[in-house]
Structure 1
Amino acid sequence: MSHYTELRRELETLTTEEFRPDLAEIDRLSTLDIARTMNGEDATVPAAVAGQLPQIAAAIDGIAARMARGGRLVYAGAGTAGRLGVLDASECPPTFNTTPGQEVVGLIAGGPEAMVTSIEGAEDSRELAAADLAALGLTAADSVVGISASGRTPYAVGAVEYARGVGALTIGLSCNAGSALAAAAEHGIEVVVGPELVVGSTRLKSGTAQKLVLNMLSTITMIRLGKTYGNLMVDVRASNEKLRARSRRIVALATGAGDAAIEAALTATDGEVKPAILTLLAQVDAPTATRLLAASNGHLRQALTSAGS
C-alpha cells in the first residue's frame, strides 16, 4: 500500500473529512438557502464546545498556575489551526498588557510566511515543531497547546510530544474523537463538530470551534491571573486613541469618578488603568498603588483589600 493510499484511508476515518450526501447538491440552492444551511451548521458548534468544558477548565487551571510562576502559553499548529493560535496570541498584548512574543506565543508550521501562504510540507514535520520550541527555550514552566482539526497533524503532535518531554504542560485541541493529538497531551480537548459544509474544509466549523476554545484558554487564564477587575479590561494597553478612550471609560465604570478625577489619576499613573483605579478607590497615591499591586501579583481586588478598601 502506498503512503498516499494509506493517508487517504486514514482521512476517510475522520469525522472532519466525512462526505455529506444531503449536501451533494448545495451548489444548486439559492444563495439565501446556502447561507441558511451554513448558519444552521455553525449554530451547532457552541454545543460541541460545551461538551468539553470540564476538560477546558482543567487545562486553564494548569496554564494559569504555570503562568503565575512566570511560564509562557505557547500555541502550535499548521494552516488554519496555526493561524488561529497566532491570532489569539497577537491579541493578548493590547487586551491584557502581556509582553508581545514573550508571555503568549503563537507558532505556525513554516514560520510567519505561513500566515498568508502555504508552506509545502511544513505541517508534516514533527522535527520542525521540536526545533521551533527549542528555539523558544521551552522549559517545564511553560504550557503548550497543540492545535489540529484532524488531531493527526505531525507538527501539532510533534509540538506536544516535545513539550511533554521537557516537562511542560501539554494540551491537545482537535475536532475528532480518539485523536493522536489528545492522546499525546496531558489535557485532551476534542470538540467534535461533525462533517464540514464543504468536505474537509476545516476552516469552517472546526475553525470556529478552535477559535471559541482559544478565546476561553487565553481569556479565562488572564482572568485567573488578575488581568481583569470583574469584566473590565483593567490591564488594557492604551496604544491608540480608541484604547485611550476605553481606558477612561473602564476607570469610570470601576470607580464612578468624574472626568477630572479620572484624568488626574491616569496622568499620575502614566495612563495605566489598574493603578489609576486603585488610587481612586483606595485613596492612595500612584507610588503606593504600584507597590500594592506588585505585592498582590497584579490582582486589583487583593490590592484593594490590602489597602483597606
Structure 2
Amino acid sequence: MNYQALSTEESNPKSEFLDQMPALEIATLMNTLDATVIEAVRQALPQIAGTAEEAARRIAAGGRLFYVGAGTSGRLGVLDASECPPTFGVSPETVVGIMAGGNAALRNAAEGAEDDAAMGEEDLRSHMLCSRDIVVAISASGSAQYCIGALQYAAAVGAFPVAMCCNSGALLSNYARIAIEMPTGAEVLSGSTRLKAGTATKLALNMVSTAAMVRLGKAYGNLMVDVQPSNAKLRNRAHRIVMKACKITEPEAKALLQAAGGNPKRAIVMKLAGTNAGAAEQALEQAGGFVRTAIKKIKEEDSANG
C-alpha cells in the first residue's frame, strides 16, 4: 500500500509552521480548515442517503446495522451505535458498533488491530452476521485490513457491505456496494485523521443513523417520539415533546404520559386520535410505528363506524 499517495497522509502547507504558532492562531487555522469538511460530506450525500435507506429497509425486515472500524473510526462507530437506544428506543442489538481490538481499545489504543483482516471477519462472525444485515466499515484512509476483512465476510454471507472513507478511490471501496468517500485532504497535524477526517465521519454517521431511524417512524415532525425517558433531563424532554405535539400544558402532558405508561409516542396517538392506551398501541403496531399513520388509521375507523 502506497500510503504517501493518500491525501489524508499529506502535509498541509498552511500549517507548515504549526510549531511556531500561538494557541489562538492554531485554533483559528483549524477552524478555517474544518469549514472544508462540509463540502467533502456534501458531495457524498447520495451515498450517505442510500446507506440510510438500505439500513432502514433491512432493520424493518429484522436485520441489523453494524459499524466496524479501528482507531478513531471505530470509536466513532461505537459512539453512534451507543446513542441509538436512548434516542430512538431501539434494542442495543439493532445498531451495533464493533471496535478493532475489542472494548479495551476504546480507551487504550490498539492501532495494530487495523492490520488484521481475519479479526474483521471473526468479530462479525461472533455476532452471527446474516444476509438481513448491513455492515458499514469505517476507515479514514480506506486501507484498514480489518475493515476489508469485515466487508469481504459481509459479502460472503449476503449482508450489504458499505465503505466509509475520507479518500477518493479508496481501496476499501472496492469491497462495497455503496462507497461513501469524503476526501477531507491533508490535516493540520499531518496524518492525524482524528481531526478533519474524524469530523466528516461523525457528520456522516449522524446522517446515516438519524435518517434511517426517521424512515423507521422514530420521529413525529422533528420530535424524538421514541426517546427513552430514563433520567430527569429525558423525562422533561418527553413532557415537552408531548406538549408540543399535542398543544397542551405541562400538567396535561404529564398526566397523559402517565396514562400512556411513560411512552411519548403512545401518548401523542391517544390525544390526537382521541383513544385509549391499548388502542393507540395497537394502531402503532399496525402502522409500523409511524405516528401519523396510526392517528389516520384510528380516525378512519372511527369515521367508518359512525
Shorter-normalised TM-score: what interval? over 0.9
Name the CA distance, whole Å, in 2 between partners of 1:132 and 1:291. Answer: 38
- Which residue, out of 155, 171, 175, partners 1:180? 171
1:165-202 Cα deviation digits (max 9, x unpaired):
11111110000111111111000000001100001000
Q: State the AA in 2 paired with 1:191.
A: M
Structure 2 partner of 1:63 = 55
202-211 vs 124-133, which moves further: 124-133
TM-score w.r.t. structure 2 length? 0.96
- Which residue, out of 39, 45, 51, partners 1:53? 45
Structure 1 partner of 2:140 = 149
Q: State the AA in 2 paired with 1:37.
A: L
| Alpha-carbon RMSD | 1.1
- Which residue, out of 63, 66, 71, partners 1:74? 66
Name the CA distance, whole Å, in 1 between partners of 2:160 and 2:15. Answer: 41
183-192 vs 53-62, which moves further: 53-62
- Which residue, out of 258, 275, 283, partners 1:284? 275
Asked if 1:217 corresponds to 2:204, the answer is no
Name the CA distance, whole Å, in 2 between partners of 1:130 and 1:55. Answer: 24
Structure 2 partner of 1:190 = 181
Structure 1 partner of 2:8 = 16
Contact 2:30 2:188 in 1 (8 A): yes
Q: State the AA in 2 paired with 1:302.
A: T
Structure 2 partner of 1:205 = 196
Q: What is the SS of the residue equivalent to 1:44?
A: helix
- 1:20 to partner: Cα distance: 2.2
In the alignment, structure 1 segments of 5+ residues that lack a partner are 1-6
Q: State the AA in 2 paired with 1:31.
A: A
Structure 1 partner of 2:304 = none
Structure 2 partner of 1:265 = 256
1:232-281 Cα deviation digits (max 9, x unpaired):
00000001010000000000010102233322221122101100011111
Name the CA distance, whole Å, in 2 between partners of 1:67 and 1:120. Answer: 31
Structure 2 partner of 1:247 = 238
Name the CA distance, whole Å, in 2 between partners of 1:29 and 1:297. Answer: 56
Q: State the AA in 1 paired with 2:266.
A: P
| Deviation beyond 3 Å, 4+ runs, structure 1 | none
Name the CA distance, whole Å, in 1 between partners of 2:191 and 2:284. Answer: 49
In the alignment, structure 2 segments of 5+ residues that lack a partner are 301-306
1:119-153 Cα deviation digits (max 9, x unpaired):
26311111111111011010010010000000010
Contact 2:260 2:266 in 1 (8 A): yes
Q: State the AA in 1 paired with 2:285.
A: A
Q: What is the SS of the residue equivalent to 1:43?
A: helix
Name the CA distance, whole Å, in 1 between partners of 2:14 and 2:48. Answer: 33
Asked if 1:44 corresponds to 2:31, the answer is no
Name the CA distance, whole Å, in 2 between partners of 1:38 and 1:167. Answer: 42
Asked if 1:108 corresponds to 2:99, the answer is yes
Asked if 1:88 corresponds to 2:76, the answer is no
**% identical equivalent positions:** 48
Contact 2:228 2:234 in 1 (8 A): yes
Name the CA distance, whole Å, in 1 between partners of 2:44 and 2:111. Answer: 33
